[in-house]
Amino acid sequence: MNDNEFDEVGPIDYLVVEFPADRPPDGSALPMLRDLVDNGIIRVLDLVFVRKNTDGSLAGIAIDDLGLEGGVDVTLFAEASSGLVNRSDVEEAGAILEPGCSGAILVYENLWAAPFATALRRGGAQLVASGRIPLQGIMAALDSLDADS
């Protein structure tokens, strides 16, 4: 990617999702992810599946080997490999997974925010902080407010 192409890129985020040991990924969320891509909201850069064995070792899982139900077309996701996720990223994500669980690492570009981000960069601005509040944190804060009133 040259500098001019980089000027047009939206913010890039990642997330790690853990699937319970007794319920491996079934593919039910992939159609929603596909809709986000098809509607130009995000671009999937990397999607990596990993399993943390009960002894703590990690094993990569090809999306084709997940045995997803419902005839999910995984072509888009099987080809999502920008190279941004490396072995140390997989190990770091695997460290937070519970033994016996599998997980997915998703790296995506926020296409919806690209024009906004581009305008800010062209104006000399730069992102200096970013974050995300997990739903559990929001629920805990709301519960705390209810308890105080």
pTM: 0.80
3-state class (DSSP) for residue 26: coil
The pLDDT-based confidence of 1 (bands split at 50, 70, 90) is very low
pLDDT at 119 over 50: yes
Average pLDDT, the chain: 85
Predicted local distance difference test score (pLDDT) of residue 70 = 60
Task: Find residue 107's DSSP bridge partners.
Answer: 14, 46
The CA angle 93-94-96, to the nearest 5 degrees, is: 75
Q: Any alpha helices (H) in 3-101, and if so which ranges?
A: 3-7, 30-38, 75-78, 87-96
Q: What is the mean pLDDT of residues 17-26?
A: 84
Predicted local distance difference test score (pLDDT) of residue 27 = 79
The pLDDT-based confidence of 4 (bands split at 50, 70, 90) is low
CA–CA dist 94, 50 (Å, integer): 7
Q: Judging by beta carbons within 10 Å of its beta carbon (0-12, 13-18, 19+), is residue 94 exposed, middle or buried? A: buried
Q: Sheet containing 12-19: give its strands across.
A: 12-19, 102-110, 42-52, 58-61
Q: Judging by beta carbons within 10 Å of its beta carbon (0-12, 13-18, 19+), is residue 24 exposed, middle or buried? A: middle
- Residue-wise pLDDT for 51-88, tens only, equals 999 999 998 888 777 766 666 667 767 777 888 999 99
